[in-house]
Amino acid sequence: MTETTPLDLAHAAMEAAQDDDALRLRFFERLADAELFVLLKSEADGDAIEPELFDVDGSQYVLVFDREARLSAFVGQAAPYAALSGRGVANMLASAQMGLGLNLDVAPSSILIPPAAVLWLHQTLGQAPQEIEARISGYSAPAGLPDVLIKALDAKLATARGLAASAYLVSVSYEDGGQGHLLGFVDALDGAEAALAKATNEALTFSGIEAGAIDVGFFAASDPAAAHMARYGLRFDLPVAATEVQVNRPAPGSDPDKPPLLR
């Protein structure tokens, strides 16, 4: 049986309702979070890769696939590739003003994404949340948030493997009189705070909500705030980290802050 991937499902939903901006945003979010296999002319040389380029209507396109088997099916044989996240591909192609061809001719999610859309995705993913300090005075159950945002948070946090033990979505009151919603991460991995805050910001952005904000906080399991959040909040369990494999040299694009170089 042919596998149906998350990108296939998101693409089908988008195509079935082409005037629905929320479904279009959800497709681009799945694209950013996916592992993509970039078709190369030759094996990667250190941090430099040379993708196969195709001209379409005066623009250059790089071909990517969400499964190795789909890349091989397109080429007709084994071929060199680089495995990158969708956000890494967008980062790499945006400055070069290139588009990408996804799963062309080998899957229902076959689509050409023009350079302007790749640039938009890169810029959207580059938005960073603002850092503030505030003291919490009270907790209550979350209320008034649309289901699409809850589902977006659930899907996004499923990609944050091993970065925290859990997270709670709660309504909070602050000592300065403000009120809002807080996503509190419990026992976050040291150094993962920025990535988790950015993931939350992306879930809000790609959910299609025109206005709204969610604060993000980080707490130890022993912190009294964690007990309050467990009592009132909606809990998200993050996947446990897979066993790490030691390698002598990281693969191109494995560091999201250092995308591979185009040759």
CATH number at 191 reads 3.30.70
Mean pLDDT of the chain: 87
Q: Contact 8/109 with Cβ under 8 angstroms?
A: yes
Q: What is the pLDDT of residue 212?
A: 62
Distance of CA 222 to the CA centre of its chain: 30
Give the integer Cα–Cα distance in Å for 189 and 207.
Answer: 26
Model confidence at 260, pLDDT cuts 50, 70, 90, reads low
The pLDDT value recorded for residue 245 is: 41
Determine the pLDDT at residue 2. Answer: 75
* Total domains, the chain: 2
Q: Is 52 within a domain?
A: yes
Residue 255 scores a pLDDT above 70: no
pLDDT at position 134 is 81
pLDDT tens-digit readout, 143-193: 888 888 898 899 899 888 899 999 999 999 999 888 989 999 999 999 999
Q: Is the residue at 245 inside a domain?
A: no
* 148 and 219 fall within a common domain: yes
DSSP letter at 109 equals T
Alpha carbon 212 to its chain centroid, in Å, reads 20
Check if the beta carbon of residue 63 is closer than 8 Å to that of residue 54: yes
pLDDT tens-digit readout, 209-231: 655 678 999 999 999 999 999 99
Q: Residue 244 has what pLDDT?
A: 45
- Boundaries of domain holding 120: 6-126
15 and 118 in a single domain? The answer is yes
CA distance 101 to 48: 20
Is 256 among the domain residues? no
Pair 168, 229: CB distance under 8 Å: yes
User: Looking at residue 247, what is its pLDDT?
Assistant: 41
pLDDT (0 to 100) of residue 259: 55
Judge whether residue 232 has pLDDT over 90. yes
16 pLDDT band, cuts 50/70/90, is: very high
pLDDT band at 1 (very low <50, low <70, confident <90, very high): very low
Residue that terminates a domain, selected from 94, 126, 158: 126
Residue 206 placed within a domain: yes
Report the C-alpha gap between 137 and 30 in whole angstroms. Answer: 37
To the nearest whole percent, how much of the chain has pLDDT over 70? 88
Question: For position 10, which CATH number holds?
Answer: 3.40.1350.90
- pLDDT at res. 258: 56
- The pLDDT score that the predictor gives to residue 242 is 64
pTM: 0.76
Cα separation of the two ends of the chain? 38
- Check: CB of residue 10 under 8 Å from CB of residue 30: yes
pLDDT tens profile 32-86: 999 999 999 988 877 788 999 999 999 999 999 999 999 999 999 889 999 999 9
Check whether residue 17 and residue 96 sit in a common domain: yes
pLDDT confidence of residue 136: 93
Final residue of a structural domain among 65, 91, 126: 126
Return the percentage of the chain with pLDDT > 90, whole number: 62
